[in-house]
Amino acid sequence: MAAAAPGVVIVTGASRGIGAAVALRAARAGYAVVVNYASDASGAAATVEQITAGGGTAAAVQADVSDPAAVGRLFDAAAALGTLTAVVNNAGITGDLIGPLAEVPPATVRRVLDVNVAGLAYVCQEAVRRLSTGHGGGGGSIINISSTATKAGSPGTWVHYAASKGAVDVLTVGLAAEVAAQGIRVNGVAPGSTKTGLHAAAGMPDRVERLSPTIPMGRAAEPDEVAAAVLWLLSDEAGYITGAVLPVSGGR
């Protein structure tokens, strides 16, 4: 007897990098995937095309997670694909700037916090409203993408970004306890240095290579390695895990 399909997963910020890798791996696991994006429509379309070419189901949905109304529309669109069972909060920005905190423009600090903290909270709120057995849902799982930048605080580069990810960790632990009796597991994945376009966008395309010697495993992660951790936490094998933040960092 074939296993039942796992349902629908929303992956925010899934037009590229870790988000796209999560979307592709989720599709291979049988999920119908909502590929969310804020502005990269072509990247989101490419992710959807890869999924559908492999026989999966996916739809690209534009929504800026820092806008609560847009988040509501994102979840409404997901309902068209079936029953929502999982949400991966991947959308996040650094502000495309590297430097000491004193030199970061206030508008950049605000935008990073709006997307990485407030936006993640808005998505979590809507996910609970849709998944919670207390709200008539069938339960499910939320994964919040954090960062190992929270360990040292990213001095001289992204203190504002690291601080936002510290907030993500606290929200993950608190929400997990809050909704555990409502059929929802909430966990985090904290990638270390990963081969994505994030560093190039901030003006340092060689940053991953320069950091690799400081990583015990001697290299940065591939996006799919981070995605593998996300899908494991979504799976039944992690059914008794909630409130955890799993580092995927090569030991750094």
Active-site annotation, residues: 161
Question: Treating both helix axes as pointing N-terminal to C-terminal, what angle do 159-179 and 106-113 enclose, rounded to 10 degrees?
Answer: 20
Strand order in the sheet with 8-11: 58-62, 32-37, 8-11, 84-89, 140-145, 184-191, 245-248
What's the Rg (C-alpha) of the chain?
17
How far apart CA 163 and CA 109 sit, in angstroms, is 10
How far apart CA 176 and CA 191 sit, in angstroms, is 20
Question: Treating both helix axes as pointing N-terminal to C-terminal, what angle do 17-28 and 223-234 enclose, rounded to 10 degrees?
Answer: 50
φ, ψ (nearest 5 deg) of residue 88: -115, 110
